[in-house]
Amino acid sequence: MTDIGIVVGGPIPAIAEMARQAEDGGFESVWVAETAHSAYVQAALAAQPTSRLRVGTNIALSFPRSPTITAMTARDLAELSGGRFILGLGSQVKRVNEQRFGVPFEHPAPKMAEYVEVVREVLATFRGKTVDHRGRFYSVTMNPFPGAAAVDDVPIYIAAVNERMLEAAGRVADGVLGHPLTSPDYIREVVRPAVARGAAASGRNLSEVSLTNSVVLQLNEDRERARFEAALQIAFYATTRTYRPVLDLHGFGDLTAPLRAAYAGGDLSEMARLAMPMVDTYAIAGSEDECRERLAAFDGLVDRILLGGAWVGPDQEALTENHRRILETFRPAA
**pLDDT tens per residue across span 54-92:** 999 999 999 999 999 999 999 999 999 999 999 999 999
pLDDT at 210 over 60: yes
Between strands 3-7 and 133-134, the pairing is unpaired
Supply the mean pLDDT for the chain. 96
CATH assignment at residue 324:
3.20.20.30
pLDDT at 334 over 60: no
Judge whether 192 lies within some domain. Answer: yes
CB 124 within 8 A of CB 140: no
pLDDT at 321 over 70: yes
Judge whether 225 lies within some domain. Answer: no
Judge whether 241 lies within some domain. Answer: no
Q: Residue 313 — pLDDT band, cuts 50, 70, 90?
A: confident
pLDDT at 16 over 80: yes
CA gap 52, 310 in Å, rounded: 27
Can you tell me the mean pLDDT for 131-144?
98
Can you tell me the mean pLDDT for 209-220?
97
pLDDT tens digits along 146-166: 999 999 999 999 999 999 999
**If 0-12 CB within 10 Å is exposed, 13-18 middle and 19+ buried, where does residue 136 land?**
exposed
Looking at residue 99, its pLDDT comes to 96
Judge whether 227 lies within some domain. Answer: no
pLDDT at 120 over 60: yes
CA gap 111, 130 in Å, rounded: 22
Number of compact structural domains in the chain: 1
pLDDT tens digits along 46-56: 999 999 999 99
pLDDT tens digits along 243-252: 999 999 999 9
Can you tell me the mean pLDDT for 101-111?
96
Phi, psi values for residue 119, rounded to 5°: -55, -45
pLDDT at 124 over 60: yes
Looking at residue 333, its pLDDT comes to 60
Q: Which domain holds residue 100?
A: 3-216+285-330
Judge whether 124 lies within some domain. Answer: yes
CB neighbour burial string for 198-223, b if at least 16 within 10 angstroms, e if fewer: bbeeeebeeeebbbbbbbbbbbbeee
Judge whether 144 lies within some domain. Answer: yes
What's the full length of the chain, in residues? 334
Q: Residue 23 — pLDDT band, cuts 50, 70, 90?
A: very high
CA gap 82, 78 in Å, rounded: 6
pLDDT tens digits along 184-208: 999 999 999 999 999 999 999 999 9
Cβ neighbour number for residue 1 with a 10 Å cutoff: 7
Can you tell me the mean pLDDT for 226-237?
96
CA gap 3, 5 in Å, rounded: 7
pLDDT at 263 over 80: yes
CB-based contacts of 278, cutoff 8 Å, min separation 6: 231, 234, 238, 247, 250, 252, 255
Judge whether 279 lies within some domain. Answer: no
Judge whether 19 lies within some domain. Answer: yes
